[in-house]
Chains A and B, each alone.
Chain A
């Protein structure tokens, strides 16, 4: 099942590759070690649109959330979001050939959903079961013959931002296999899925404020800096499978006040 899926992924990649090399091969003048970006022009266009939406809507909401909502509530929200993601992580851990880690993830999910009251409290962590996070993009990366820096052509997805062929396929697969999504569809409570998506976005953005602000402020070409950082971060996640991950590429030194507004 997985093998056939992977071969299909590889076929899809080959098609994209072929299209990219035949159509846009002329402007390939990348430095060795740089992410491969044959679709740079449309990507930059999408990046600009995403950035505008972020500036006008997502970032202000995330900043407001981060500075006005009490810390314990933020932590609870973050835990709930994480808990709802555990089933997908467990499936991916199985797919990566890590059954014992998958078992721990399921145990975490069961403990936190019950004793942790729908995941508000990460009780499992206190019991010595630290969180993990695996997605299908990483699963492809683990099995692919290519080095994890090479996820196919770099892509900037509408609303979702930096990605590449590998991780975009991963996102789609994670969406399809997500037991929470299937359940909400079955029970006709799809609004729960939308609510979860909204909360996930605010939670994720509020925790990447300082890292992204830092990259934006200290780079001359934000698009290229972010492309590099994204590619490196994903490669590190694939190499370091199993290590507890922090939410974002956070940068040295933090500081809660002002930082969100410092531009």
Chain B
């Protein structure tokens, strides 16, 4: 009996240890993803490359670190379900280009900001990790940024509590309701091109 109890305890402890280790590893990985990306972005913006060079580097960075398919699907919301495979492919491609263009524009005026990584916690549904961070600015208040990481890639960014994915979804949803999905894809292509 005593041996059985000890065996149960050992099993429970071993399982708990494995789970904890897995969770810890996931948290560490998620933080590393953000940290690595931040240093890559920093390296890119610091070189003072031309616009097209920077955009090329940003494209690589974006593809390596963002799960654009997951983001695109989330952002299109219920319109994703009604889209044909061809529309989906076109949308993802156009969305990716438009986002890359937007991000390269944002990093144009680098002013010595640094990213300080904070706490990592699992998301409410447990499917991803939330990495808290602060963008420290040379002047003014730090900006609070939370990165949502799933399977080693960014699936959302919340700046001061505002999720880019949700904002984009509202935006696209309103546009599709008024103009249709094909118009959205055209407009994104125009902007990313």
Q: Dominant SS at the B interface?
A: helix
Q: How far is the CB of B19 from chain A (nearest CB, A)?
A: 28
User: Interface range on chain A: under 10, 10 to 19, 20 to 34, or 35 or more?
Assistant: 35 or more
CB <8 Å contact, A249 and B162: yes
Quick check: B139 and A71 within 8 Å, CB to CB? Answer: yes
Is B77 among interface residues, defined by CB-CB distance under 8 A? yes
Q: Which residues of B contact A (CB under 8 A)?
A: 77-78, 98, 102-103, 105-111, 113, 135, 137, 139-145, 157, 159-163, 166-175, 177-178, 184, 187-188
Rounded to whole Å, the gap between the CB of A132 and the closest CB of chain B is 13
Report chain A residues within 8 Å CB of B163: 232
Expressed in whole angstroms, the minimum distance between the Cβ of A237 and any Cβ of chain B is 7
Residue on A nearest B175 in the bound complex, by CB: A220
**Are B159's CB and A249's CB within 8 A?**
yes
> In the docked arrangement, what's the CA distance between A179 and B61, Å?
52
B170 touches A228 (CB 8 A): yes
Name the residue among A223, A235, A247, A252 with the largest chain B CB count within 10 angstroms: A252
Q: Is A258 touching B109 in the complex (CB atoms < 8 A)?
A: yes
- Can you report 25 residue pairs joining A to B where beta carbons are below 8 Å apart? A31-B77, A34-B170, A215-B167, A217-B102, A219-B167, A219-B171, A221-B174, A221-B178, A224-B170, A224-B174, A225-B168, A225-B171, A228-B167, A228-B170, A229-B167, A235-B161, A237-B161, A246-B142, A248-B160, A249-B161, A252-B143, A253-B108, A255-B108, A255-B111, A256-B109
Cross-chain contact A256 with B170 (CB below 8 angstroms): no
Tell me if A8 counts as interface (CB < 8 A to partner B).
no
Min Cβ gap B69→A in Å is: 20
Please tell me if A236 contacts chain B, counting CB pairs below 8 Å: yes
- Chain A residues lying within 8 Å of B141, measured Cβ to Cβ, are 244, 246-247
Q: How far is the CA of A217 from the CA of B106 in the complex (A)?
A: 11
Please name the residue on chain B nearest to A221 by beta carbon.
B174
Asked if B170 and A220 sit within 8 Å, CB to CB, the answer is no
Q: How many whole Å from B74's CB to the nearest CB in chain A? A: 11
